[in-house]
Amino acid sequence: MSTQNLLVELFVEELPPKALKELEINFGGSIEFSLKRRGFLQDDSVKREFASPRRLAVSITNVAAKAPDQKFRQKLMPVSVGLDSDGSPTPALVKKLASIDPTIDYKSLHREQDGKHEALFYEGIQPGLTLTVALQKALEDAIDNLPIPKVMTYPLADGWTTVNFVRPVHGLVALHGADVVPVSVLGLTAGRDTQGHRFEARVSPVSIQCADSYAGQLKDEGAVIASYEERSLSIIRQLRGHAKRMNSRLEVEPANLLDAEAEIFLSENALVQEVTALVERPNVLVGTFETAYLDVPQECLILTMKANQKYFPLLDAAGKLTNQFLIVSNISPADASAVIQGNERVVRPRLADAKFFFDQDRKKALDSRVLGLAKVVYHNKLGTQGERVTRVQAIARAIGEQLGGEALALQADQAALLAKADLLTDMVGEFPELQGIMGRYYAQHDGLSDDIAFAIEDHYKPRFAGDELPRNPVGVCVALADKLETLVGLFGIGQIPTGDRDPFALRRHALGMLRILIEKSLPLSLFDLINNAFSAFPSGMLGDAHTDAETFVFDRLSGLMRDLGYTASEVDAVLCMRPVRIDLVPLQLLAVRAFAALPESESLAAANKRVANILKKSGDEVPVAIEPGLFVEPAEKALFDALEQIEPKADAAFMAGDYTASLQVLAALKTPVDAFFDSVMVNADDPALKANRLALLDQLHQTMNRVADLSRLAA
């Protein structure tokens, strides 16, 4: 069957930039899936998607003009209903055949057993669909199923009919090779004409000769780079090229990345993706602003340039903001000075606003704003931000006392008191993303120590996966306190995340708390932390959600450890013990993995599972002490002697924190444990003998399960 390449393009008004990539993927993927399902694509057909601010398109190679004919088999009716006693067709059969095809001869029907009865079947050939029919359906399905953020209703050219789409559509191109496929959607009939760049196209309209010439013609005649990926790479390379020439680096790019790594990293950057969706042919230019604005904290300037103007700030070798920035323009004039000056003129008031806010905020000391938090509602069931600050102070003091005594507790108390004060500043009111950061600058301006100032900034950390942790002990105390207060407070009023709904980001708070405990190696009890956090709330404000909160945190810890590469059984073996010290969990997991690699581990894990089941069934029958004089079988005496030698070694290694050694010495128990179960009947008729053997198994169970429940490793 002959095939040709297919092109489909919707030419639209400017699409929402943050949704463009998803629209491109869904549009192309939906059309490909629909045509493939109907038999138009070959095994080697390749899809290529295109998306620019004013178009969605897809090209697919090796598309058939007609789908293959399909054999079909249709059950009509039982023979007793379709044929009379003479074998002639009944009126029912005649009517049925006429509805399918009046030319069908009833003698061509097949008679086959169908269950208990014989039935009549018709076999025929279903002609394959034409590409026009199939593409019409594929286009309609693609448009109906696009993940449109917000649908527009707009009138067609007749001024009366209305259609719905993300933006008004003004053109439709559908080419199979060089031939137009006559499909129609959204009031438009397909042709071969599209539009290029608004200002720089050489030809208008651009008449696409064939499916293969689409991207090339748009670039040459229309001054448009239709490929999203190609535009993104062009932007990245222009940005990095300008930065290198000015001995600077992009603020959005980490230092010391190789070129290939940087290109991959930047292709996933939200700002790069947004500007890629805003321009059709990118041209990167350099702008500057007055150095006086550099007195404002660079985070403020960076945020306003990126968020409001979509500019790329530049940093010097020391990581300090320069007064130069990069502009991604959509036009390439011979003299770009007017474009540059226009962008500089636009950004100047933004920077002036930031400087004004910064100057005004510094006229009031940070601590003078604390009282104002009593007027800011935090949650209608949890009170004001002022009340919340009081609770965070109490939790932070307790943590500080445990980690560093009275001195750290006092610092944590002061930092917690000031941590939310910058919420009432003009700068944070304008740029909420700067909360904490501005608190640090204002605290330093007020003469507070860096320990306090950095703790104010860092108490929100980590804010996302991979974010850095608080940089000093004071920040650690306040960050833990802030997350604990949020977690237990919302759990206490029943605001528990369900499914994919987590409006208060409690999963993020729990993961942040766990990362701090683990990566900072904090010797704190999770249960004490949660209990202390609950006790910071007034009596009667919260319900009893201690268990729910603890389970939620352990669930997050389980996911975190699995993400680090540990198996579900390894994680379960450790976490089912509900370890008190979260910082020791990675060490316990390493020990479990090392134990599982021992040749004796499989047998010991199975034995441990058997022991656990025996003890569980025995319930309260297990005595506390072992009576060696009651041993009858040599195997139980041998197991007791082995335990007497091995238990002190395992306990000593456990107390020293060497969990790997604590588990590995258990390997010596394999032979006596196997012998015990081979020759000793635990449930003896003699009650005293049975009780003594249960006590022996209980000691074995406790010895083996100090680090983890090894029975969870059993197959």
Alpha carbon distances (Å) from 442 to 294, 297, 474, 558, 710? 16, 10, 17, 39, 53
What tens digit of pLDDT does each residue of 626-641 get? 888 888 889 989 999 9
* Half-sphere CA count of 94, side-chain side, radius 13 A: 6
For 72, phi then psi, to 5°, come to -140, 160
pLDDT band at 715 (very low <50, low <70, confident <90, very high): low
For 192, phi then psi, to 5°, come to -120, 0
Share of the chain above pLDDT 70, in %: 99
> What's the pLDDT score for residue 620?
63
* Half-sphere CA count of 242, side-chain side, radius 13 A: 21
For 671, phi then psi, to 5°, come to -65, -50
H or E element, residue 447:
none
> Whole-angstrom Cα distance, residue 325 to residue 333?
19
> Whole-angstrom Cα distance, residue 361 to residue 438?
10
What tens digit of pLDDT does each residue of 510-543 get? 999 999 999 999 999 999 999 999 999 999 999 9
pLDDT band at 483 (very low <50, low <70, confident <90, very high): very high
What tens digit of pLDDT does each residue of 141-194 get? 999 999 987 889 999 888 888 999 999 999 999 999 999 999 999 999 999 999
- Cβ neighbors of 259 (< 8 A, separation 6 or more) are 240
> Whole-angstrom Cα distance, residue 418 to residue 485?
16
> Whole-angstrom Cα distance, residue 663 to residue 588?
10
Which own/partner contact pairs does 107-115 have at CB distance under 8 Å and 24+ positions apart? 109/76, 109/82, 111/79, 114/75, 114/78
Q: If you write DSSP's letter for every residue of 381-392 in order, what string do you get?
A: TTEEHHHHHHHH
The secondary structure of the chain in percent helix, strand, coil, rounded to multiples of 5, reads 55, 15, 30
The answer to whether residues 464 and 508 touch, using CB atoms and an 8 Å cutoff, is yes
Residue 8 amino acid letter = V
> What's the pLDDT score for residue 174?
97
The pTM of this model reads 0.82
pLDDT band at 9 (very low <50, low <70, confident <90, very high): very high
> What's the pLDDT score for residue 122?
85
What tens digit of pLDDT does each residue of 487-497 get? 999 999 999 99
What tens digit of pLDDT does each residue of 447-463 get? 999 999 999 999 999 99
Q: What distance, in Å, lies between the first and last C-alpha atoms of the chain? A: 54
- Higher pLDDT pick, 537 / 98: 537
> Whole-angstrom Cα distance, residue 564 to residue 682?
41
> Whole-angstrom Cα distance, residue 327 to residue 313?
9
> What's the pLDDT score for residue 683?
84
Stretch 310-323: mean pLDDT, rounded? 95
| Eight-state DSSP code of residue 482 | H
> What's the pLDDT score for residue 496?
92
Residue 408 amino acid letter = L
- Higher pLDDT pick, 39 / 85: 39
Share of the chain above pLDDT 90, in %: 73
Stretch 372-385: mean pLDDT, rounded? 95
Would the pLDDT of 648 be above 80?
Answer: yes
Stretch 199-223: mean pLDDT, rounded? 95
> Whole-angstrom Cα distance, residue 66 to residue 316?
61
What tens digit of pLDDT does each residue of 548-596 get? 999 999 999 999 999 999 999 999 999 999 999 999 999 999 999 999 9
> Whole-angstrom Cα distance, residue 628 to residue 641?
10
What tens digit of pLDDT does each residue of 248-303 get? 999 999 988 889 999 999 999 999 999 999 999 999 999 999 999 999 999 999 99
Stretch 57-65: mean pLDDT, rounded? 95
The answer to whether residues 666 and 594 touch, using CB atoms and an 8 Å cutoff, is no
Residue 614 amino acid letter = I
Side by side, the strands of the sheet bearing 47-52 are 47-52, 55-64, 3-12, 169-176, 179-180
> What's the pLDDT score for residue 158?
82
Q: Which of 573, 647, 568, 654 lies closest to 608 in space, CA to CA?
A: 573
The answer to whether residues 246 and 286 touch, using CB atoms and an 8 Å cutoff, is yes
What tens digit of pLDDT does each residue of 584-636 get? 999 999 999 999 998 888 888 888 888 888 888 877 666 678 888 888 889 98
Q: Which of 606, 581, 590, 602 lies closest to 662 in space, CA to CA?
A: 590
H or E element, residue 175:
strand 169-176
Length of the chain counted residue by residue: 715
Task: Enter the tokens of residue 705.
Answer: 């399960």
> What's the pLDDT score for residue 299?
95
> What's the pLDDT score for residue 542?
93
Averaged pLDDT score across all residues of the chain: 92
What tens digit of pLDDT does each residue of 125-134 get? 778 889 999 9
Alpha carbon distances (Å) from 51 to 16, 54, 55, 162? 12, 8, 6, 25
> What's the pLDDT score for residue 12?
96
What tens digit of pLDDT does each residue of 328-359 get? 999 999 999 999 999 999 999 999 999 999 99
